[in-house]
Chains A and B, each alone.
Chain A
């Protein structure tokens, strides 16, 4: 009965590959987010979706493309992975107030 789940938990891949991270929430929330947390622990918002529509798209390379097939899912696809993409990626959801975070996906690009 996990509220916000992400898969995979760990992802190790080579530079130049394309990968996807999936996120699902069973809280009935309208808004979902993707965050990137770097090695210094800075949490930076990447995207925000409300009812499957993109609300926020911060300065993120267009190699990152979010996809929301329905309100409960927000996936993140990354093309041509670079070393600097190594980080922990958190999905979160909310209904107006506090955000519920997923467990994170630890991405390592070699």
Chain B
């Protein structure tokens, strides 16, 4: 079945440092989504990428979809303590009804 790996599994950064998580799929994807889950909370949708090579920004967050549509990255500039949580990518295919979540990257920000 579809496998989606994320690296790193954990990341501790000093507040103000940058952070990047990478998502890699074994197959070409239709779309990729990113979610954030705060400790004790539920996943919350951040963004969806559809086109090959697409780059989208949300304030300090930059999302990128690879040219081959097999990988994606999320970059946070100048992390803040509010960025703490686990970031998941989610690979979609089969008309949005088939979805596989990545293994997640847990971000800890040290004030």
Contact = CB atoms under 8 A, between A and B. Distances in A.
A100 B97 contact: no
B109 interface: no
Given A48-B98, A99-B33, A101-B44, 9 more contacts: A41-B86, A42-B103, A43-B43, A43-B101, A44-B101, A45-B99, A97-B96, A98-B45, A102-B42
Contacts of B86: 41
Nearest to A95: B96
B104 A55 contact: no
A48 B97 CA distance: 7
B42 A50 contact: no
A110 interface: no
B106 A41 contact: yes
B30 to A, nearest CB: 12
Contacts of B104: 41-43
Nearest to A106: B40
A16 B106 CA distance: 34
12 contacts: A31-B96, A33-B99, A42-B101, A43-B101, A45-B99, A45-B101, A56-B98, A92-B43, A96-B96, A99-B90, A100-B45, A102-B42
Contacts of A99: 33, 43, 45, 90, 99
A98 B90 CA distance: 10
A13 interface: no
Interface in A79-93: 90, 92
Nearest to A6: B42
